[in-house]
Amino acid sequence: MERSLIIIKPDAVNRDMAGRIIARFEEKGLKIIGMKMELLHPVKLKEHYSHLKDKPFYAELEKFMSSIPSILMVVEGKQAVEVVRKMVGPTQGRDANPGTIRGDFSVSNQSNIVHASDSADSAEKEIERFFRKEELHEYKKMNFEWIYSKDEKN
């Protein structure tokens, strides 16, 4: 099963949306294997957003992302990275389709509620960046039998 990192960003925490966002991933059938609250440090953010460090909006992005704590989650499922990205929608909230998290809750290109890993490769790196091994939990969930068919369970 694949893993993906989700960050419920400061705008969502400020707007009391964390529970609703978490519920959407649970309802989809993704398994939460790690979750915590953390005030993201600018040093970590520089790594996490290294692809944006030369953009004119970077300083503002860092300020926003380190303004109050975020909620970080690792979810597991078949093709979890792609499934989560589809649920989240494109970066610009105004372009995101209704039904997606950004499409339902954001009208901004910065304050767009969640971060989601964009490939299996970056998911692995991001999970390592934000979670210690012992913060990730392997466990059997009762609903597993009802979420996947027999041939999907690997």
Burial letters for 36-50: b for 16+ Cβ neighbours within 10 Å, e otherwise? eeeebeeeebeebee
Residues in the chain: 154
> Quick check: 1 binds ligand IDP (CB under 6 A)?
no
Pick from 112, 126, 130, 131 the residue near ligand IDP by CB under 6 A: 112
- DSSP character for 30? P
Closest approach of Cβ 96 to ligand IDP, in Å? 10
Angle between helices 120-130 and 80-88 (to 10 degrees): 90
**Is 118 a binder of ligand IDP (CB under 6 A)?**
yes
109 binds, among Mg ion, ligand IDP, none (CB under 5 to 8 A by kind): ligand IDP
Q: State which H helix or E strand residue 73 sits in.
A: strand 70-77
- Residues with active-site annotation: 115
Binding positions for ligand IDP, rule: CB under 6 A: 49, 52, 57, 61, 91, 109-110, 112, 115, 118
Binding positions for Mg ion, rule: CB under 5 A: 118
